[in-house]
Structure formats: C-alpha cells, structure tokens
Amino acid sequence: MKVRQTLSFLFVTLLLLVQTLVWAQQTRTVKGQVLDQDGLPLIGAGVLAEGVQSVGVITDLEGNFTIEVPASVSSLRFSYIGMADVVEEIAGRDYISVVMVADDLTLDGVVVTALGIKRSERAVSYIVQTIGSEAFAARDANFVNSLAGRLAGVQVNASSAGIGGETKVVMRGAKSIAGNNNALYVLDGIPLPALSLTNPGDKYDIYSGSALTGDGISNFNSDDIADMSALVGPSAAALYGSKAANGVMMLSSRRGEKGLSVTYSNNTTFLSPFMLPAVQTSFGQKEGYYSSWGQKLLSAPTWSMDEFFQTGYNTQNSVGLSFGDDNSSTWLSAAAVGAQGVVPGNAYGRYNFTAHHTADLLEGRLHVSVLGMYMKVSEENMTAGGQYYNPLIPLYLMSPGDDLHKYAIYERYNSERGFKTQYWSWGDLNLDMQNPFWIVNRNTFSTGKDRFLLGGSLKYDITPWLDLTARARTDYTDILSEQKNYASSLGTFAGAKGRYFYNEYLTQQTYADVLLNARKTFGAVSLQGTLGAAVEDYSFRGTKTAGDLIGVPNLFTLANMQPNRDFVKETVGDQTQSVFATAQLGWNNAVFVDATIRSDWSSALAKQGEKVKPIVYPSVGVSAVITDLLDLKSSVLPFAKVRASYAQVGNAPMRYLANPTYSVSGGIPQTVTYMTSPDFQPERTSSWEFGADARLFDGLLSLSATYYSSKTYNQVFTPEISSTSTYSTYYVNAGRVDNKGVELSAEIKQDLGPVKWTSNLTWFANRNKIAKMLETEIDGQKVAIDTLDMGGTSGVKMRLTTGGSIGDLYVNTLKTDSEGFIWVSPTGGTVATARDVFIKAGNTNPDWTLSWRNSFVWDRVSLAFMINARVGGVGVSLTQAALDYYGVSERSGEYRLGEGVPVNGYPLPDVESYYTTVGGNGTNAIGACYAYSMTNVRLGELTLGYSIPVDKWTSFIKGLQVSFVGRNLLMIYCRAPFDPELVAGAGNYAAGIDYFMMPSTRNLGFSVKATF
C-alpha cells in the first residue's frame, strides 16, 4: 500500500516538474516520421531546419520527430550517419514522412535493451543479439528450446522431462554455486517470474526426476512474441540489478498492425526416440533372475524396446487477429497445443488467449498499451529420469529372453482384494523397479496450471524529447499437481491402499515502475537518459499434502488419507524496491558513453530493528564507430565498431536468513537450526566485456566478436559446523567463481543467382573457474572448504574444488597394480574397485559450441537448416552401467560371443564377473568405466517451406505458406550412449550424469500458415 502511494506521489511530482519545461513559441510545428528503406523507424536521425542551423531535433525511438521551425523556413534536412541526406520541402504540410536510403552498409538497427528501452544498435556498448519470430518455425511446445544454437554465449539445454519441460538456459557460464544460474525472462521490459519448482542449488541425486513441471516461460504461445533479444552479459542486463547476473532474454509482445489481417497456423510434428541404448539379443536369463547372464538364446527375441514407446505428437493450432488504424492497433490470438510424448502416459496440453491493444491518444502524445494473457496448461507424467517411477529401468534392463508383451496386462484381478493389482513378480531389484506399464498407468502425475497476466503502460510525450512512462503488471499462477500411486505399488511409493499427493502452488508477482525518458541533441552531442523507480512484489504459497490412503483402496481423496499425513505449507514473500538512472552521451553519432545505476532495497535483507541498506549496481560502457570516427569507410569495410563495458550486478538474495524463526512441527515450535554470518550479503558479479562489430565487402560479411570476463563474489556456503554447537547449518559468504569467454558470430548474405543465401555461424567458448572456495573464520575458528560434493553416487561425484570448475565430474576407478595396469585377480580373473579413490573425469560443460545455420530462398521456396556441434565435455552414463550389470548391453553380448572383455589388452573370459563389478547395479558403478565424451554434431533443424501462390486464384487468402519442419534429425557424430545435450532438469547440477533419462526425440512434421 505504502509503495503504491509512493509511486503515485512520484508520478505526480515528476509530472509537475516537467510541466515547467514545456514551452510554447510562435512558430510552426512540423511532425513526421523517418523510416529506412525497409520501413523501419530510424532513431536518432537529425532533423534540421534548412538554413537555420540552431533549430534541430533528432527522431525518437519510433522514428518520430516534432520540430518547431520559424515561419521563414521552407524545407527540412534529414541526416543520419550512413544514409544519404534528404532535403524535403515543407510545402505547407504539418506531417512529413521521409524514407532514407543507405549510402553505405552500416549498423543502423534498433535494439531493445534492459527495461524495454530502445537504443540504436550502433550506440550500445555491449552485445545485444536479436532473434526474429522465424526462429520458432520448427515448433517446440516450449519455444525456448528453439533458441538452441542461435545465440552466442548462451547454452540452451532441453530437459529430458519431455514436451513442455523446463529448459536450462545459462548465459556466459554458471556463476553461482548455490543459487540460480538460469537466465531471467523479461516481457516488454518487465521481469517475468521463473515459476520453476526446481531448487537450482540442489545436489544431484539418483532418485529425483519425476513429478516435474514446466517453467514459466514454457506457458507462452510463441505467436504472441514479436521478437526477442538476448542480453547475455551483465553490462546489458545491469538495469535489472539484483536479477541481472545471469543475463536476460527480452521478449517483445506482438502488436496489431494497420489494416486487418487474420492468420491461422497449424503445426504438427511427430516425435520418436532419437537415441535408445544398444542391447544384445543373444543371451537370456538365469532361472529366477531378471538379468541376462544365462544361456544363449535358441531363438530371436520376441520383443524389442521400441515397442514400449509410442509415436509422440505435438499439434499446435493458432489464430491471430490483427487490426488497427493510424492511432490504435489490436492483436488478439488464441492457440491450442495438444501433445503426447514418446513415453506412454506423458501428455501435454495448453491453451493461450492473448489480447494486446495499443492506442495513441491526445493528439499522439499519450500512448496506451494494455496486455492480457490467459494460459491454461495441463501436464501428465512429466518424468525426466532417475530411479523413482521410471518405466525405463525395467524396460531397458529386461532380458531379451523375457517378453515385454507379457507385462502389458500390468494389473490382474486379485480375488482376495477384489480389485486388480500389479502384475510383477521381480521385486524392486534395489532399483525401485515395478512393471513398466504399471508405472506409466498407475503411478500418475498430473499438473494443471492457470496463469493470468495483466498489464498496461502509459507513455506521455511531455515534449518531443521527454516522455514519462508508467507501467504495471500482475502475473498470477495457480498450479495444482496431483500424484496417485495405486494400491500394490512398491511399498516405497504407496501403502497397502495407495498413496495420494495433493499440492497446490499460488504465485503472484506484481510489478510497477515509472520512467522518465529524455533524448536531446546539442549540435554534435546527443543525450539520452532515463530516470525511474520500480517496485516488485512476489508472493508464493505452496500447500502440500501427502499420505497413504487408509480405508478405501485407490480412492484418492483427503478424507481417505492417513490422519498424520504430511502437510507442508510454504509461504514466501519478497519485495524489491528500486530506483535507477541511465545516461548515454553520443558525439557525432559515432562515439557513445553509457552509464547506468540501480539501487535495490530487498526485503530479504531486512533485519529485525535495522534499516535495510540499499545495494547499488553500476555499469559504464563506451562504444565507437571507428569507420565514422576515423573516416575509414570503404566498400571493403563500410562499418566497424568497437565497444567496452563494465558492470556490477547481483543474484537474488536468499530469503529469511536475516530473521531466524521457529519452524513448527506437531504444533510445537522447534529451535532454530541455522546461524547466519552477521555480514551476510547477496551474490555479486562484476564483469568486463570488450567487443567489435564489423561489416565487410559491401555487407556481404558481418562479424561480431566479444570477449568477456566476470567474477562472482559472495557465493553462499553452508559449511558443516560441529553439532556440539547445537546448530546444523551456518550460512556464510565466501569464494569467487570466474567465467571468461569468447563469443563470435558471422553472417554471410549472398545471392547465388536467383537464390538468396544467408549463412550464420555462431561460436562460443566459456571457461569457468572456481577461484576461491570457502575460507573464513567463524567465532575465531578457521573454517575452510576446498572441496564440496554436490551429489552423485558411490562412483561419480559432482565435485567443486578450488581451481576447478562448476560441472566437474569425479569418478572412482578400477584397482590398478604398481605398473598402472588394471589389477586382475590371479586366480579368478576378476577385477576390483579401487575404494574411495576419485579422479577427475572432466567437466560436463563443452569446450566450445558451434552452430551453422543456412537459409536459401528462391522465389517461393525456402530451405533452412542448422548444424550444431558441441566439442568437449564429459558425461557419465549410469544407464549404460546398469545395462552392463544386467547383461543386456550390446557389448556384454558381443564379448560373451567373442573371447571376453579386453582388459590390459587381453580378453577376460568371465564377462559376467567383470560387468557385475564395474556396472555395480548402475548406482554403484565404477565411474571411470562409464565416462564418455559429450562431443556431438547433429543436424539440429531443417525447414523446407513453399509459399503457395494462392493470390492467382483468390483474393480472399493473402498468403499460404506450407513447411516441412524437423528437429534433431540426424546425429552426425556422438560417442556417448545418450544424447549429451539432454539435462535432467534446470538445476545447477542436473547435467552430466545420465541415469535413465527419458530419450530425446526426433521431431518431424509440417506447418501450414494462412493469412487472410
């Protein structure tokens, strides 16, 4: 309440202040707009009264200008660097529209920067990468997956949870050990809530991976997004202060256009497993064992693994209606997505309804925009992998001598109990196994979401060079997720009558800001600045109920649950209040100096009885168009720019640490279990970046290169303290994580006869280093941590060490002899584990990634494809280990058919003994035997489109485009037994260990788009 009052007070104050700046003169007012040859607005173009040098303005972000000229002036001169000057007679007009034509090829685009502030691309001192909506052509239910390979400096990994699952988007390397590393999404300048139920700092464990849900961004309809820009670096994102450290993905919502048009599109893709494990078909089971270490089979297996999977599909239908005139425009859209995954039982559905209206009022001085979205999502059985509820474990490990079909009738009538119970006689085999068909049908997870997003903005042009913008948005999401484990499920998952989980999560984020924007030119000097204040309020409430059913089997209601069932309620409230300012000084439209500052007051840092201290985040940058500055312009090098910037940004502080409270269990408040270091601070990243952009050979080739270096301080550690202190946890800041890297991109635009060819190459390399771990003093006692395990198994660990990197994998090994050869027992011919000896296998992150996109347009036909390469990185496959242990892997069969497993160059005949040692039932595998290079090259995307010339036959349909689309079409090179680009989730430690992850999918389909 107080905040709202304050904001309105501020708003009024600012209005009053600027009133005094408005002047009136006895002159003629001419308005107009300056566009380039593509019809895009030119910002910062000079408009001069011809003959009167002192009268001049520059165009605003929409290319508009308003100039007051003495009555004597008869014409205006329009100038813009890189464009030929235009002199236009006023001839009594009060509105003049001018199209300027390039006299050279220069960087002239407009980019959307932090808070939605538009800037001339040449003026920004950091890299801003823009993505048009064509990127979403090969539709994925979560459109963020389409960004993989398109952006330098960004690693996009789809989770193995299938359609609509979370996507891990990390920009310029992981910066935080315990906090969030995923990029911030921003719509029209305002941050979106992440809405992820994953805790990013969670350690890796083999059990989790079920009951997942998509993140907030996956709720959007990509048709509602006009374009995106990626602010990968802290400098670009600096205005988001405590949310800026991980970079920002800026989305602009689609607006209506002048005239009336209706678009209908259908996109249908079919999904099949992209990579499945290679299995043997020669050996069957020993009597009474699930594993396949038995006799050679006399006949070919009667089943194959792929029979379990179904053909997935993803159908998206959307209708968009755009209408508008000179003063207003409206975009209305509706979309429906129906999808099912390749694993039976996995399904996804979504409805989106959007209305976006913009209008110019008060003679074009007041710009109003209203945006409303409703999203309804349903998810069924979203499982990424892991040991619990995973049908792939019994499926992959099933013997070729067994028969999958006999388990297909997964439940049979149990006369004693009077209902059908699970058909499965193998027990859990220490891998929580059940009948795979039972798992997908009778351990079900369903999640429903309703999300409402309502916002509006008002922009008032006080003078041609000054405007005041006020924006507000509220974003409300209700998530209801249920899990039903039917009676006769494994005891770990359900009691005798079944088990029920009923969880509800409510999230609301409300944001409001006011911005005062000014642009003015003083001769050769231009100034652009923004001053603003913002408040963001976030609340989350989760109510979770879980328990065994007590009376009626499989009646999943709260009344039928155990009275002492687990109830958990989590409430979270955060508020951040901020003030910020930016200033950009330009000289001759060739040199720009840029500075921003933001100050955040965060409720999470509020301590009892103390005033909250602000945290200040500054940034500075400079860019110079050297071709203009040094007059180097030539047809070989028409444009070249260099840029440098520095920023300090933050990551959201952990809440509640400042004010310890007593958790209540069984009605009784419990003592506080943690202590917080008295000077606890949020994480802070300081970052430099340097770069250059150039166009060469008359624009044939464009190049962009950036080098960056960031240091992230105040990492959060919770060192173990002695229990004798009576506390279990201590929160302390320490350590530093460094990232540095290079981003390169190149574009070639060349006409090959009648074919327009565009080729883009993106290359990115990041080096992560944990410069410092914990080294501090608590109460005079030195506390140091130089190694920290972030989960794993007895054979592979995600280990953080001083001098190491986030994502390092350590593995145990086979016992070796004094000469370094693998130790083989002289009597039994068996191998053994070297206990508790861990060596570094590598890092899960790539050394570098490269993607190469090509598009060819010939008349009405277009063809585009993208090849993605990832080089370097190591992953460990516990799936492969389990397959070996159970004797179902292809190689376990081949070696048995041959002379044995080659060890030290000689075959070891006892294949069973070897693989039951190294495979260790999967979870106890010897990690070194299952480390794989994650290098892979694939044909990531292919689209082939044809624009049907319908206008020949009818005037009703304006355009009809049909396309063939494909994703993940062909793996060109890959040595790992799983798709290395898959991650188990969006958490920091979810990548690099494959433990029965759901397979990635090959997507093939078509799309039809009709415009009326």
Partner 1 sequence: MKTRNISIAIAASLVLASCTGGFEEISKDHYNAHEENLAEDNLKVGAMFQQLERSVIIYRDGTYLDSDYQIMYNLCADIWAGYMGSTHATGNSAQNSGWNVYDQYPSRMFNVKYEYGMSAFTNLKAYCEENHLVIPLALAKIVKVATMHQVTDYFGPIAYSQTGSVSGNLYDTQEAVYKAFFTELDEAITTLEPYAAAGTVALDTYDIVYGGSIAKWVKFANSLRLRLAMRVVYADETLARTNAEAAVANLGGLVTANSENAVVSGVGHHPMYEINVNFNDGDIQMGASFDSYLNGFNDPRKFKIAKPAADGNLHGVRLGINPSDWNPYKNAAGNVSAPNATAYNICWLNAAEVAFLRAEGAIRGWNMGGSAKDFYEQGIALSFEEWGATGAEAYIADATSKPAAFADNVSTNNAAAPSSVTIAWNESAGFEGKLEKIATQKWIALFPNCAEGWAEYRRLHYPALIVPVNNFSNGTVDTNQQIRRCPYPTSEQSTNPDGYASGVAALGGADNAGTRLWWDKKPF
**Interacting positions 282-311 with partner 1 (CB under 8 A):** 289
Residues in 661-700 that interact with partner 1 by CB under 8 A:
661-666, 668-671, 673, 675
By CB under 8 A, residue 832 contacts partner 1: no
Beta bridge partners of 587: 525, 591
Is the Cβ–Cβ distance between 969 and 865 less than 8 Å? no
Judged by CB, which is closer to partner 1: 579, or 746? 579
CA nearest 398: which of 273, 265, 494, 304?
304
Judged by CB, which is closer to partner 1: 54, or 722? 722
Number of residues that bind partner 1 (CB under 8 A): 85
Judged by CB, which is closer to partner 1: 489, or 961? 489
Residues in 425-484 that interact with partner 1 by CB under 8 A:
426-430, 432
Residues in 25-84 that interact with partner 1 by CB under 8 A:
none
CA nearest 923: which of 795, 810, 791?
795
The correct pick among 579, 761, 939, 969 for binding partner 1 (CB under 8 A) is 579
Nearest distance from C-beta of residue 848 to partner 1, angstroms? 38
The correct pick among 604, 814, 874, 976 for binding partner 1 (CB under 8 A) is 604
Judged by CB, which is closer to partner 1: 6, or 557? 6
Judged by CB, which is closer to partner 1: 291, or 844? 291
DSSP class of residue 980? T
By CB under 8 A, residue 655 contacts partner 1: yes
Rounded (5°) CA angle 556-559-564: 100
Nearest distance from C-beta of residue 799 to partner 1, angstroms? 16
Is the Cβ–Cβ distance between 99 and 85 less than 8 Å? no
By CB under 8 A, residue 511 contacts partner 1: no
The correct pick among 727, 731, 763, 856 for binding partner 1 (CB under 8 A) is 727
- What tokens does 441 get? 């049908």
By CB under 8 A, residue 603 contacts partner 1: yes
Q: What does DSSP say about strands 95-100 and 28-36: parallel, antiparallel, or unpaired?
A: parallel
Write each residue from 150 to 179 as x if it is in contact with partner 1 (CB under 8 A), else as -, in one continuous string. ------------------------------
Half-sphere exposure (Cβ direction) of 592: Cα atoms closer than 13 Å: 29
CA nearest 391: which of 355, 366, 424, 417?
424
Nearest distance from C-beta of residue 802 to partner 1, angstroms? 16
Beta bridge partners of 85: none
The correct pick among 310, 575, 758, 933 for binding partner 1 (CB under 8 A) is 575
The residue type at 322? S
Judged by CB, which is closer to partner 1: 978, or 996? 996
Nearest distance from C-beta of residue 8 to partner 1, angstroms? 11
Rounded (5°) CA angle 120-122-127: 95
> Residue 211 — φ and ψ, nearest 5°?
55, 45
Is the Cβ–Cβ distance between 866 and 851 less than 8 Å? yes
Q: Which stretch binds partner 1 (CB under 8 A): 70-78, 333-341, 601-609, 639-647?
A: 601-609
By CB under 8 A, residue 96 contacts partner 1: no
Name the CA radius of gyration of the chain, rounded. 31
CA nearest 305: which of 433, 380, 399?
399
The correct pick among 199, 726, 750, 825 for binding partner 1 (CB under 8 A) is 726
> Residue 873 — φ and ψ, nearest 5°?
100, 150
The correct pick among 19, 53, 54, 722 for binding partner 1 (CB under 8 A) is 722
The correct pick among 658, 737, 798, 869 for binding partner 1 (CB under 8 A) is 658
Is the Cβ–Cβ distance between 858 and 752 less than 8 Å? no
Nearest distance from C-beta of residue 29 to partner 1, angstroms? 23
Q: Which stretch binds partner 1 (CB under 8 A): 477-485, 724-732, 741-749, 934-942?
A: 724-732
Is the Cβ–Cβ distance between 492 and 429 less than 8 Å? no
Beta bridge partners of 460: 366, 468
Residues in 756-785 that interact with partner 1 by CB under 8 A:
778-781, 783
CA distances for 532 relative to 87, 432, 467, 668, angstroms: 37, 55, 12, 46
Nearest distance from C-beta of residue 720 to partner 1, angstroms? 5
Judged by CB, which is closer to partner 1: 324, or 401? 401
Write each residue from 385 to 424 as x if it is in contact with partner 1 (CB under 8 A), else as -, in one continuous string. ----------------------------------------
Residues in 921-940 that interact with partner 1 by CB under 8 A:
924
Judged by CB, which is closer to partner 1: 325, or 570? 570
Residues in 202-261 that interact with partner 1 by CB under 8 A:
none
Nearest distance from C-beta of residue 308 to partner 1, angstroms? 24
Q: Which stretch binds partner 1 (CB under 8 A): 11-19, 155-163, 478-486, 850-858?
A: 11-19
Judged by CB, which is closer to partner 1: 43, or 490? 490
Question: CA-CA distance, 41 to 63, in Å (whole number)?
Answer: 4
**DSSP of 585-643:** EEETTTEEEEEEEEEEEEGGG--TTSPPPPEEEEEEEEEEEHHHHTT---SS-SEEEEE
CA nearest 129: which of 147, 146, 117?
147
What is the rounded (10 degree) CA torsion for 174, 656, 789, 931?
-40
DSSP class of residue 557? S
Judged by CB, which is closer to partner 1: 6, or 825? 6
Residues in 607-626 that interact with partner 1 by CB under 8 A:
607-609, 611-612, 614
Question: CA-CA distance, 908 to 448, in Å (whole number)?
Answer: 54
Rounded (5°) CA angle 440-445-448: 135
Write each residue from 903 to 922 as x if it is in contact with partner 1 (CB under 8 A), else as -, in one continuous string. -------------x------
The correct pick among 605, 694, 770, 874 for binding partner 1 (CB under 8 A) is 605
Nearest distance from C-beta of residue 680 to partner 1, angstroms? 13
Half-sphere exposure (Cβ direction) of 165: Cα atoms closer than 13 Å: 33
Judged by CB, which is closer to partner 1: 296, or 569? 569
By CB under 8 A, residue 1008 contacts partner 1: no
By CB under 8 A, residue 12 contacts partner 1: no
Q: How many CB atoms lie within 10 A of CB 227?
A: 17
Nearest distance from C-beta of residue 695 to partner 1, angstroms? 35
Q: Which stretch binds partner 1 (CB under 8 A): 155-163, 362-370, 596-604, 634-642?
A: 596-604
The correct pick among 405, 569, 860, 975 for binding partner 1 (CB under 8 A) is 569
Question: CA-CA distance, 172 to 706, in Å (whole number)?
Answer: 11
Question: CA-CA distance, 203 to 441, in Å (whole number)?
Answer: 29
- What tokens does 108 get? 């002239």
Nearest distance from C-beta of residue 774 to partner 1, angstroms? 12
Rounded (5°) CA angle 117-120-124: 80
Beta bridge partners of 195: none
**DSSP of 242-287:** GG-TT-EEEEEE----SEEEEEEEEEEEEEEES----B--SB-PPT
Q: How many CB atoms lie within 10 A of CB 650?
A: 25
By CB under 8 A, residue 952 contacts partner 1: no
Write each residue from 520 to 539 as x if it is in contact with partner 1 (CB under 8 A), else as -, in one continuous string. x------x-x-x-x------
Q: Which stretch binds partner 1 (CB under 8 A): 7-15, 46-54, 126-134, 199-207?
A: 7-15
Rounded (5°) CA angle 467-469-475: 165
